[in-house]
């Protein structure tokens, strides 16, 4: 009898054991198994939204999205597969073996649909779609792709797209960036990538044990990125780029009162769609070209300023009262400071400030600079916006460099000598500026004493963002100084002996300053900065030609540009 009892007890224990195990499986580990069972039967077909477009100030789309078609295949049973690939290869025009290899090569998990061919012709896509009943498991997936209807136009401002790299990924992972995301590099695509980015959506579907589609479980619509409207004007940008093409350098055209950038071009340039279509040879050329086509010379490169820096010296001298409008110096072609001879490019005789600016006389400014002293020059240069970045909304801006006595003492363990002051007065020496900084400086004279912050982006997704820029600062410079220098700048063009006299033939009154910055061992850099029309300026222009020769070249280019603008009726 007792044995029966033992057996009954054993059986009860056994059943309890089973129930406990059930509890463990279903309740304790239930979620894990639920996940596994979902993994078995749920597949996700992702769908991309469109990246935000970039539009110019008139509403013309500079960078948009085009629809391109990929061929995806949902791997299912092997017999069907060969037949499917055979049919597909006939339509696509590729070898069956190649297709099979691509398929085998990218077969990661049998759960995800994989790409057989990317970016196929519309006609082929339609053909494949028509053959759908014969092609088991093939999906034609339309996908938005970056399109550049204007080709290379404003490529430096825009930037290009590529797969995210590890450095960026580590910084941005918290913002929702994942591996294999496409992000912008350089330009606005990089700076505003967070807004331009699209959100992925997709289809989630249920499949059976053979991977065959059973039903749709859910759909999340993809979201497009936000559009960005620029202050750039495509018409003017085109004019600028056409004229700049072939000459190494850059051109900036800015609106003097608000700081809006109308045109910004740098040459040599590159083609951003090469990165989209992944044309490796072009990309290789761009990256390895010694002339650095990917660099935006307007902001990412700093150069010696040359004669355009004389405006800083003039302002400083007038403000501090070291000279006045009637002060004169005699230019005999050179001066001696200590044992060193510093020459002027011509013999100018007696020059006052107006003459010195008109003729760009070095000697006048040597003497003025010596009167001022390097520290004063430095301080006024900083006031006028040099030696630091302009806070423009483009990445990789250089801040240039302004030497001064203290710096020389601390970093070079040398004393500042008068010869250095002399060099500095005409914008040579260790001085480095970016063309955009110079353009901003010119704007001070154009808008009568205000330091603006240049910007390119006007609205994001329709919302005006210009309020978020830095406020315009009214500089503590006497209006008389400003007006006087303004007149001098007008004289540079109007006076027959002015260095920019070629511009006087234009129907619009232009004012400006030329510059020839020595840059041994190569040719000197050519500068022209100016604003027009004189009385109420609409544009500030800065033309810079790297190793372009004398400032005359830059002036000529400016003339061509302005001429074309007049022709097109912009002015």
By CB under 8 A, how many residues form the interface with another protein?
34
Quote the least distance from Cβ 62 to another protein, whole Å: 49
Quote the least distance from Cβ 24 to another protein, whole Å: 9
**Which H, E and C letters describe 140-175, residue by residue?**
EEEEEEEECCCCCCCHHHHCEEEECCHHHHHHHHHH
Can residue 77 be called a binding residue for another protein (CB under 8 A)?
no
Quote the least distance from Cβ 82 to another protein, whole Å: 21
Can residue 3 be called a binding residue for another protein (CB under 8 A)?
yes
| Candidate segments 11-19, 125-133, 180-188, 511-519, binder of another protein by CB under 8 A | 11-19
Out of 66, 181, 200, 206, the only residue in the binding site for another protein (CB under 8 A) is 206
Structure tokens belonging to residue 49: 């939204």
Footprint on residues 345-374 left by another protein (CB under 8 A): none
Out of 14, 107, 173, 330, the only residue in the binding site for another protein (CB under 8 A) is 14
Footprint on residues 371-410 left by another protein (CB under 8 A): none
DSSP, res 28: I
Can residue 19 be called a binding residue for another protein (CB under 8 A)?
yes
| Candidate segments 2-10, 251-259, 360-368, 475-483, binder of another protein by CB under 8 A | 2-10
Please state, in angstroms and rounded to a whole number, the distance separating the CA atoms of residues 471 and 468.
8
| Candidate segments 23-31, 77-85, 359-367, 553-561, binder of another protein by CB under 8 A | 23-31
| Candidate segments 70-78, 206-214, 487-495, 529-537, binder of another protein by CB under 8 A | 206-214
Can residue 207 be called a binding residue for another protein (CB under 8 A)?
yes
Binding mask 150-189 for another protein (x = CB under 8 A): ----------------------------------------
Can residue 4 be called a binding residue for another protein (CB under 8 A)?
yes
Quote the least distance from Cβ 185 to another protein, whole Å: 43
Name the H helices within 387-527.
405-412, 418-425, 435-446, 479-494
CA distances from residue 329 to 306, 373, 512 in whole angstroms, order as listed: 20, 17, 22
Ramachandran region, residue 73 (left: φ > 0; alpha: ψ -120 to 50; beta: rest): beta
Residue 51 near residue 225 (C-beta atoms within 8 A):
yes
Can residue 109 be called a binding residue for another protein (CB under 8 A)?
no
Can residue 107 be called a binding residue for another protein (CB under 8 A)?
no
Out of 122, 173, 214, 325, the only residue in the binding site for another protein (CB under 8 A) is 214
Structure tokens belonging to residue 154: 């404003």
Residue 305's closest CA among 492, 433, 489, 437? 433
Quote the least distance from Cβ 102 to another protein, whole Å: 24
DSSP, res 132: G
Quote the least distance from Cβ 112 to another protein, whole Å: 18
Please state, in angstroms and rounded to a whole number, the distance separating the CA atoms of residues 444 and 448.
6
Quote the least distance from Cβ 75 to another protein, whole Å: 15
Can residue 208 be called a binding residue for another protein (CB under 8 A)?
yes
Residue 527, SS3 per DSSP: strand
Residue by residue, DSSP assigns 358-386 as HHT-HHHHHHHHHHH-HHHHHHHHHHTT-
Can residue 29 be called a binding residue for another protein (CB under 8 A)?
yes
Helix count (H) and strand count (E) of the chain? 21, 23
Name the H helices within 61-192.
78-92, 96-105, 122-130, 155-158, 166-172, 187-191
Residues that bind another protein (CB under 8 A): 1, 3-4, 7-8, 11-12, 14-15, 18-19, 21-23, 25-27, 29-34, 36-38, 40-41, 206-210, 214
């Amino acid at each position: 009898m007792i044995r029966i009892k033992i057996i009954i007890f054993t059986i009860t224990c056994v059943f309890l054991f089973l129930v406990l195990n059930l509890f463990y499986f279903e309740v304790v580990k239930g979620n894990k198994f639920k996940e596994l069972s979902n993994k078995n039967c749920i597949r996700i077909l992702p769908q991309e939204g469109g990246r935000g477009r970039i539009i110019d100030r008139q509403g013309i789309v500079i960078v948009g999205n085009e629809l391109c078609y990929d061929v995806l295949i949902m791997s299912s049973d092997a017999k069907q597969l060969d037949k499917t690939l055979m049919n597909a290869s006939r339509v696509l025009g590729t070898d069956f073996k190649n297709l099979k290899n691509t398929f085998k090569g990218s077969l990661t998990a049998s759960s995800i649909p994989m790409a057989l061919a990317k970016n196929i012709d519309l006609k082929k896509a339609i053909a494949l779609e028509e053959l759908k009943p014969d092609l088991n498991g093939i999906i034609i997936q339309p996908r938005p792709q970056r399109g550049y209807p204007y080709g290379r136009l404003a490529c430096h401002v825009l930037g290009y797209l590529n797969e995210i790299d590890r450095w960026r990924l580590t910084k941005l992972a918290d913002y929702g960036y994942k591996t294999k995301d496409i992000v912008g590099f350089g330009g606005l695509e990089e700076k505003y990538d967070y807004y331009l980015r699209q959100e992925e959506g997709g289809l989630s579907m249920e499949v059976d044990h053979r991977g065959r589609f059973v039903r749709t479980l859910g759909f999340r619509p993809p979201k497009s990125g936000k559009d960005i409207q620029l202050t750039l004007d495509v018409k003017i940008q085109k004019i600028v780029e056409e004229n700049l093409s072939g000459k190494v350098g850059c051109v900036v055209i800015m609106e003097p009162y608000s700081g809006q950038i109308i045109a910004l071009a740098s040459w040599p340039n590159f083609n951003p769609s090469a990165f989209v279509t992944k044309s490796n040879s072009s990309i290789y050329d761009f990256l390895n070209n010694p002339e650095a086509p990917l660099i935006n010379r307007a902001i990412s490169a700093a150069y010696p300023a040359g004669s355009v820096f004389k405006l800083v010296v003039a302002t400083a001298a007038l403000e501090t009262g070291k000279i006045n409008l009637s002060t004169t110096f005699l230019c005999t072609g050179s001066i001696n400071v200590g044992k060193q001879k510093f020459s002027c490019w011509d013999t100018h005789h007696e020059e006052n400030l107006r003459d010195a600016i008109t003729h760009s006389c070095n000697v006048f400014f040597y003497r003025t600079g010596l009167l001022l002293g390097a520290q004063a020059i430095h301080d006024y240069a900083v006031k006028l916006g040099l030696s630091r970045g302009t806070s423009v909304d483009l990445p990789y801006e250089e801040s240039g460099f302004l030497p001064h006595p203290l710096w020389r003492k601390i970093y070079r363990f040398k004393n500042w000598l008068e010869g250095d002051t002399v060099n500095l007065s005409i914008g040579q020496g260790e001085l480095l500026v970016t063309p955009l900084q110079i353009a901003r400086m010119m704007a001070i004279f154009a808008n009568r004493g205000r330091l603006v912050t240049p910007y390119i982006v006007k609205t994001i997704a329709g919302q005006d963002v210009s309020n978020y820029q830095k406020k315009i600062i009214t500089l503590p410079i006497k209006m008389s100084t400003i007006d006087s220098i303004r007149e001098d700048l007008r004289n540079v063009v109007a006076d027959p002996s002015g260095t920019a006299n070629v511009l006087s033939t234009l129907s619009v009154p232009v004012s400006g300053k030329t510059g020839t910055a020595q840059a041994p061992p190569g040719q000197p850099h050519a500068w022209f900065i100016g604003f027009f029309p004189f009385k109420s300026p609409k544009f500030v222009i800065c033309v810079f030609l790297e190793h372009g020769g004398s400032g005359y070249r830059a002036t000529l280019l400016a003339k061509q540009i302005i001429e074309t603008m007049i022709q097109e009726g912009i002015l």
